[in-house]
């Protein structure tokens, strides 16, 4: 019952509704559609949020299963997924991670981390909105992606809508898990 209520609440959020429609425009979206369309629709993959590491594993699995793309396309896809479809661990994320998941300038990401360091962990969306330079509309658009727990397990398990990718990936020399252009 609790799980059904949580799932219904998540499905009603703006980001979840946009995931059901057209994915947002931006660098990486076209590469995502190009590479994913050989085996499945991009929309089916985007129907869930994942951690950055889970998206890396998913892309590794795609490459290991024969998905073809250039290093630039894989990098664009990863950046796109981080920006639009990754959980935001607001009380653990580095400034660099917040730049990519929130799509904010480095100074804003650093202000978010500085406020957390000086005043303690965030406990609500309103706490984040009070940081100077933060765009409230941008935070509101990502509400369903924020996780406030210190440990990933508690909030993460509650916010999971679908099972994540858990496969083993083959690592290449640059550590990204996909074959470099020269290795294909």
Q: pLDDT (tens digit, 9 = 90+) per residue, 112-167?
A: 999 999 999 999 999 999 999 999 999 999 999 999 877 655 444 444 433 333 23
Domain membership of residue 151 as a residue range? 2-167
More confident residue, 17 or 63: 63
The residues near 137 (Cβ < 8 Å, ≥ 6 apart) are: none
Return phi, psi of residue 62, to 5°. -60, -45
**Is 176 within a domain?**
no
More confident residue, 179 or 95: 95
The residues near 165 (Cβ < 8 Å, ≥ 6 apart) are: 50, 54, 55, 57, 58, 61
Query: What pLDDT does residue 132 have?
Result: 94
Query: What pLDDT does residue 38 have?
Result: 81
Strands (DSSP E) contained in the chain are: 88-89, 146-147
Whether the pLDDT of residue 19 is over 50: the answer is: no
- How far is residue 30's CA from residue 28's CA, in Å, rounded to a whole number? 6
Q: pTM for this structure?
A: 0.69
**Is 153 within a domain?**
yes
**Is 12 within a domain?**
yes
Query: How far from 111 is each of 91, 102, 124, 138, 154, CA to CA, in Å?
Result: 13, 13, 16, 16, 26
- How far is residue 71's CA from residue 182's CA, in Å, rounded to a whole number? 10
- The torsion defined by the Cα of 126, 103, 137 and 45, in degrees rounded to 10, comes to -100
**Is 32 within a domain?**
yes
- Residue 9 CA from chain centroid, whole number: 19
**Is 178 within a domain?**
no
Query: How far from 68 is each of 41, 143, 179, CA to CA, in Å?
Result: 15, 33, 10
**Is 81 within a domain?**
yes
Whether the pLDDT of residue 53 is over 70: the answer is: yes
3-state secondary structure of 88: strand
Query: What pLDDT does residue 47 have?
Result: 85
The tally of domains found in the chain comes to: 1
**Is 89 within a domain?**
yes
**Is 36 within a domain?**
yes
């Amino acid at each position: 019952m609790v799980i059904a209520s949580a799932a219904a609440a998540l499905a009603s959020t703006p980001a979840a509704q946009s995931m059901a429609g057209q994915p947002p425009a931006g660098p990486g979206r076209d590469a995502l559609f190009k590479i994913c369309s050989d085996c499945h629709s991009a929309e089916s993959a985007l129907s869930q949020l994942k951690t950055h590491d889970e998206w890396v594993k998913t892309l590794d699995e795609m490459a290991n299963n024969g998905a073809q793309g250039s290093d630039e396309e894989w990098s664009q896809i990863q950046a796109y997924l981080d920006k639009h479809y990754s959980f935001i661990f607001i009380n653990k994320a580095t400034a660099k991670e917040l730049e990519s998941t929130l799509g904010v300038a480095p100074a804003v990401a650093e202000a978010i981390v500085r406020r957390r360091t000086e005043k303690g962990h965030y406990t609500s969306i309103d706490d984040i909105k009070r940081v100077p330079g933060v765009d409230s509309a941008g935070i509101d658009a990502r509400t369903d992606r924020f996780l406030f727990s210190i440990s990933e397990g508690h909030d993460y398990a509650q916010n999971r809508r679908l099972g994540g990718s858990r496969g083993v990936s083959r690592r290449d020399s640059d550590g990204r898990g996909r074959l470099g252009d020269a290795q294909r």
